[in-house]
Amino acid sequence: MGGDFAPQAVLEGVKLVLPELSAETELLLFGDESALKEGLNALGVSDARVSIVPTTQVIGCDEQPTLAIRKKKDSSMARAVEAVAKGEADCVLSAGSTGALLTGGTLIIKRLKGVKRPALATVLPTMDGCVLLLDCGANTDCKSDYLVQFALMGSAYMERVLGVKSPRVGLLSNGAEEEKGNELTKETHVLLKTAPVHFTGNCEARDVLGGEFDVVVCDGFDGNVVLKGTEGTAALMMALLKKHMTAGFFTKIGALLCKPAFRALKKKLDYTEYGGAPLLGVNGGVIKAHGSSNAKAFRSAILQGVRLVSSDVTRLVGEQIAAMDAEGPSA
């Protein structure tokens, strides 16, 4: 029931994705029963793999996250998160309040043993693939050992979910040189050199999308700034292209000839192709979809959830965190 276009966009996404799901995959829709039934019927969806779990409350994006999760126990989000915590579901997906979902993931599903802070990760496009940026907003203030764990969790996700072998890990900083950065990045750089990841050095913001890194780690404040800046740049670039390519007769002819290339570019930059942002480090699947997600975005996010569960990345992260702790403190 969360997001700018709920529940219609969710239901349309369900209809889109059903032909791509296995017979064993089930979708549980938490929310207003009558609205969901009416919406599914209108779309002609009567698949046995789709079921409704009635709830009576909705958490708004303007509510205090911790208070809302604790007081609105029959909200669609709280009940869905609780289903993962109880093992009744494997992954929860929501486009609702980010703060409430992160709070629910941390307090109800709970952190994996040894994980100091869960991290919100976002997949961004590069020239020939993609890069995972984390943390993107779950932890505005971090310690160096948090960032080392982010590197480990991000590497596991890229390898198991997205199939990238030996992911190259970069540390977001204001310079490529080892001595650049604030005290946090300098300390983290030293720790990452001996961490069980393929650390390839500092990453400047301009190089995040350059294709030289598969995972870029940072605190949640810097990660969110990079993410929002990237979204704004992509939107501006597409708007300027459209403006100038349709400014005159000859540019319109050129735009027509270049239409396949522009279509490919738009697809590459389209966030709906990449699903949502997984919350890594909790004992179950949690994916935060963009608040403005449409049917296509929900389809991608559902498929992302299926990959996350089938890859067993949560168990792998837990094992790797435990192994790193057994070798001694990272800070």
pLDDT in tens, 57-74: 999 988 999 999 999 999
Contacts of 325 (CB under 8 A, 6+ apart): 114
Please spell the DSSP secondary structure of 237-286, one letter per residue: HHHHHHHHHTSSHHHHHHHHHTHHHHHHHHHHH-GGGS--EEEETBSSEE
pLDDT tens for residues 121-142?
999 988 888 899 999 988 889 9
328 inside domain: no
Q: Collapsing DSSP states into helix, strand and coil, what is residue 51?
A: strand
**Tokens coding 164:** 């990238």
Better pLDDT: 327 or 293: 293
| Whether 137 and 112 share a structural domain | no
187 inside domain: yes
| pLDDT of residue 326 exceeding 80 | no
| pLDDT of residue 87 exceeding 80 | yes
| pLDDT of residue 154 exceeding 50 | yes
Burial class (CB in 10 A: 0-12, 13-18, 19+), 311: middle
| Whether 194 and 300 share a structural domain | no
Look up residue 109 and give its DSSP letter: I
321 inside domain: no
| Whether 15 and 106 share a structural domain | yes
Please spell the DSSP secondary structure of 152-183, one letter per residue: HHHHHHHHHTS--SSPEEEEE-S-SSTT-S-H
Q: Are 331 and 144 in contact (CB under 8 A)?
A: yes
Please spell the DSSP secondary structure of 303-314, one letter per residue: HHHHHHHHHTHH
Q: How confident is the model at residue 330, as a pLDDT? A: 45
Give the integer Cα–Cα distance in Å for 244 and 313.
45
| Whether 237 and 253 share a structural domain | yes
331 inside domain: no
Give the chain's length: 331
The arithmetic mean of pLDDT across residues 317-322, rounded, is: 88
| Whether 165 and 262 share a structural domain | yes
Give the number of domains in the chain.
Answer: 2
| Whether 96 and 157 share a structural domain | no
| Whether 147 and 235 share a structural domain | yes
Contacts of 20 (CB under 8 A, 6+ apart): 299, 303
183 inside domain: yes
- Percentage of the chain lying above the pLDDT 90 cut: 68
Beta bridge partners of 56: none
CB atoms within 10 A of CB 28: 15
* CA distances to 18, 21, 41, 50, 302 from 15, in Å: 6, 11, 11, 10, 11
- The closest of 59, 62, 41, 58 to 50, measured between CA atoms, is 41
**Tokens coding 121:** 């990760």
258 inside domain: yes
Q: Are 26 and 17 in contact (CB under 8 A)?
A: no
| Whether 37 and 140 share a structural domain | no
Q: Are 217 and 150 in contact (CB under 8 A)?
A: yes
Q: How much is the pTM?
A: 0.88
Give the integer Cα–Cα distance in Å for 215 and 211.
10
330 inside domain: no
**Tokens coding 295:** 């049917």
pLDDT tens for residues 23-48?
999 999 999 999 999 999 999 999 99
Q: Are 124 and 213 in contact (CB under 8 A)?
A: no
Phi, then psi, of 203 in degrees rounded to 5? -125, 120
Confidence of residue 331 (pLDDT cuts 50, 70, 90): very low
Confidence of residue 328 (pLDDT cuts 50, 70, 90): low
Range(s) of the domain holding residue 90: 8-116+273-316
| Whether 267 and 131 share a structural domain | yes
pLDDT tens for residues 245-304?
888 888 888 888 888 887 777 777 766 677 789 999 999 999 999 888 899 999 999 999
| Whether 181 and 305 share a structural domain | no
325 inside domain: no
Which residue has 């949560």 as its token pair? 314
CATH of the domain at 213: 3.40.718.10
| Whether 198 and 208 share a structural domain | yes
| Whether 71 and 96 share a structural domain | yes
